[in-house]
Structure 1
Amino acid sequence: MQDAVDAENNGAAKPRFRPVPWSALESPADVELWIEEHNLALKEHIAPHETGYGVCFTLAEGGTIHMQTSADGAIILDVDAEADWVAPLIAAVAQAEPPQGAMWVLPDDKLVQLIMGLSSLIATSTLVAGHHFGRGQRRRY
């Protein structure tokens, strides 16, 4: 019996990061605290050689948004097709038309406003590493 349990556990790799239930953030101070905690978690769990790291928001009404901030201060959003319904909110934050594809690039001064806008729509957040973030498809706002 134990051999079967061991074989099952060895055959299926456990996910490196697990979804964390989201608690709605109600003020800019709450968002800034979440950003600080998220940055600390990235420093603790992401190796210096890793790329494509950030956070994946699973939306309560469907779809996911992968988000990372770049070294040059941009906010990069990879919005999957199932989450297209959130494009008007992102466009309002960016004060721009939606891009041709799924990749949004926003200035860093929009981060708090973006998280505030998305907060009530998020079901879970998960740290990610190795996400491709659509290199070469970026359009700045």
Structure 2
Amino acid sequence: MQLPPEEESRLTINIVPMIDVVFAILAFFILSTLYLTRAEGLPVTLPTAETSTAQDEAALTLTISAAGKLFLGDRPASLENLPADVQALVAPGQPAMVTVRADAATPHGVVVAAMDRIRNIDGVRLGIATQQP
């Protein structure tokens, strides 16, 4: 009596789980790099302060370049229209924090003038960005 030969199943490599793992790792690295970089606006050289402390993330960032140019977030702003621009970005009735990121070489008068304009807005607090030495 002769037995029929067993059919050997073809070995296949299923790469779908490997692709899933590769995409999961890729997504992890993309998301982790987004949290490593902080979008603080324009690059400025912040002054150093021994007593600087970390604060909660500010809702608005006012950047003042070394030349004295103002940027609210990443958009250019003028000193005259600064209160109106800030009020347009702040939710009514909600307290807001504006962080002033002034370059170390910025003239002091420009920083004080910008801070004075912002202090006249009700419900808006001011913070000054520094870095530790």
Q: TM-score, normalization: structure 2? A: 0.31
Higher relative contact order (CA 8 A, sep 6+): 1
Larger radius of gyration: 2
Which structure's residues are more often helix, by fraction? 1
TM-score by length of 1: 0.30
